[in-house]
Structure 1
Amino acid sequence: MNEPVTSIPVHPEGVIVPPPIRPGDTVAVVTPCGPPDPVRLVRGVRVLEELGLKVVTGAHVRERERYLAGSDAGRAADLQEAWCDPAVSAVICARGGYGATRILDLLDWDAMRAAGPKTLVGSSDVTALHRAFAVELGVASWFGPMPACATISDPGGPEPRTFAGFTQALSGVQAPVAGDRVIVAGEVVAPLTGGNLSLLAALCGTPYQLRARGQIVLLEDVAEEPYRIDRMLTQLLQSGSLEGVAGFVLGSWENCGDPYPTLEERLVPFGVPVIAGLPVGHGSPQFSVQLGALGAIDAQSCSLVGATIVPVKAV
């Protein structure tokens, strides 16, 4: 008799890929970073409910403390309670902004590990949570649009391409994401990591510092001048964060002037595939990519595609 397989695929490197989200599942919307616009939050929750999901919100989602969505303790509590709730299949961050790094030391990682894997969704400042969840929980997570942000909660409804990718992500499918330029040709299959450049630089010297060896690194940012991009890349370089990198995918650089001379100067010397112009990060459309899972750079089509993950046998 064949041995049963687990319902949770495991990455060859040991990263757990959570089960897909199905209609009828419960998802929790939390605010670990900045305060969301209350009108956008209501619209975003409605969008999730129209997908057939049951939506619960953290107890502190409507709080505000200066530029934060409530106190550090309250934001951490909402995130941890949602993750540890066995009824919740996914934890979706309402928006980014600032504040995720402040709660990392307040989370009970032992309790969250014991709760088992589930899906985390968010981008921008949520990069800090993606890195911490990868290090502490070993779980893959989705870097993509958030319900209280423009591409999901605009008055006219979600941006169609963004929404299509978002719904595919919830169902566990990594849709191909095409860029518009090949900086260094080549192909590579490796786990995807990275996220927002500002947050990756801010995590240098912490337990959640980027470790790029053998991985494809996603980089994107918003409202950063090229010299600041240069400074943050230099910080990653000098900290050793990019040693052994397998490739780079460059997302959106909204309101960043022309970042490409700087990006090319700093990244081309690595001699690994580099593709750019992927609509990932900020702006519209905003596609979803799974951090921690295998990805493949295909320079011929200038795209990032999800690689097939085979479930492992139960032990």
Structure 2
Amino acid sequence: MTGFRRPRALRPGDRVAVVSGSSPADQANLEAGLRAMEHVGLKPDVFASAREMGVDYDYLAGDDRLRAADLTAALADPAYAGLFLACGGYGMQRTLELLDWSRIDPARPKVVVGYSDVTALLEAIAVKLGWVSLFGPMVACNGFHQGPGRFDFDTLMTLLFTPAEVGGLTFLDARTIVPGVAEGVTLGGTATLLAASIGTDTSLPARGGILFLEDVDEKLFRLDRIITQLRRSTYTDGVAAILLGTFTDCGEPREVERLLVDRLSDLGVPVLAGADIGHGIAQQTYPIGVRARLDTGTGTLTFLEPVLSS
């Protein structure tokens, strides 16, 4: 896991694509998010999937072919400096089945931002194209649509426009599960999606990496099953370190942490919990595909290379 291609930083006036690869977007939030993007100088083009409501299923933004065609076009068109996902939900795994990677030039990386169900796309981009991407706020959900002045929006925009100012992430409420310092390439995302991708041609195993995990709306026993699947599948073999974010509505927090300690502390690598990345919070943006150092003593993730090129 070396040599990921870095997209260039965004600039005022850049055209960017807004696409739904999963569930329908809240249209009021989407409009607010578009205004926030325009406020910082971006020129968003809204693809049809971002406007689609459920057709065959109420949890999917249009049909699979539409979502895949929109994603393919947005990733392939050199006119776009970036791709922002409108929202998560469910459906990206279906979309990836039809995405036409042959149309996308790996040598022309562009910024891709999303989280939750978009984890599957970020993994696929790393495997198929070798691009750095960003596990971060989406246009029509969380705080993005609240725009400037909101922590998650502001920190994302700082990273996108002035990446040299972002040398890493500090986690003020971090808790050391297993002490230590380790270096590796950042990867991971929403645990459910990582487990669902195992056995596909877009899964990115954690060997040599700093693995980030978070999740939402999973009962404790299901979260146990997901983490156990990551272990039994050999996905976690050779991992360098583990960073744990939010596990929103996954059970009583002390019980969730007890489970994570039980399932992850015997891997023999540093483990840090309490990162403000994930669902239900004003989150920091976590890059995928960047060499970094995790220090559980200081509660920091230091980037050993720029996230984006200037």
Length-normalised TM-score, structure 2: 0.92
Corresponding residue for 1:223? 217
Corresponding residue for 2:142? 150
Residues 1:138 and 2:135 aligned together: no
Is the alpha carbon distance of 1:148 and 1:200 closer, same or farther for their aligned partners in structure 2, counting shifts above 3 Å?
same
Indicate conservation of the 8 Å contact 1:280/1:288, yes or no.
yes
Indicate conservation of the 8 Å contact 1:210/1:242, yes or no.
no
Corresponding residue for 1:8? none
Is the alpha carbon distance of 1:60 and 1:225 closer, same or farther for their aligned partners in structure 2, counting shifts above 3 Å?
closer
Q: Number of residues paired by the alignment?
A: 299
Amino-acid identity (%): 43
Amino acid at match of 1:293: V
Residues 1:176 and 2:169 aligned together: yes
Report SS of the residue matched to 1:249.
strand
Length-normalised TM-score, structure 1: 0.90
Report SS of the residue matched to 2:104.
helix
Aligned counterparts of 2:259 and 2:86: Cα–Cα separation in 1 = 32
Corresponding residue for 2:28? 39
Corresponding residue for 2:157? 167
Residues 1:52 and 2:45 aligned together: no
Residues 1:285 and 2:287 aligned together: no
* 1:174 shift after superposition: 5.5
- From 114, 117, 139, give the equivalent of 2:109: 117
Indicate conservation of the 8 Å contact 1:251/1:278, yes or no.
yes
* 1:150 shift after superposition: 2.4
Corresponding residue for 2:70? 78
- From 274, 277, 298, give the equivalent of 2:295: 298
Is the alpha carbon distance of 1:272 and 1:231 closer, same or farther for their aligned partners in structure 2, counting shifts above 3 Å?
same
Indicate conservation of the 8 Å contact 1:168/1:174, yes or no.
no
Q: What is the 5 A alignment of 1:160-309?
A: 160-171=150-161, 172=163, 173=166, 175-178=168-171, 179-257=173-251, 258=253, 259-309=256-306
Give per-residue Cα distances to partners, 1:187-243, cap 9 Å, x unaligned: 112100110001011111111223111101000001112211110011111111000
Once superposed, what is the RMSD of the aligned Cα atoms?
Answer: 1.8
Amino acid at match of 1:177: T
Amino acid at match of 1:123: Y
Aligned counterparts of 2:133 and 2:223: Cα–Cα separation in 1 = 25
Bigger drift between 160-169 and 197-206 goes to: 160-169
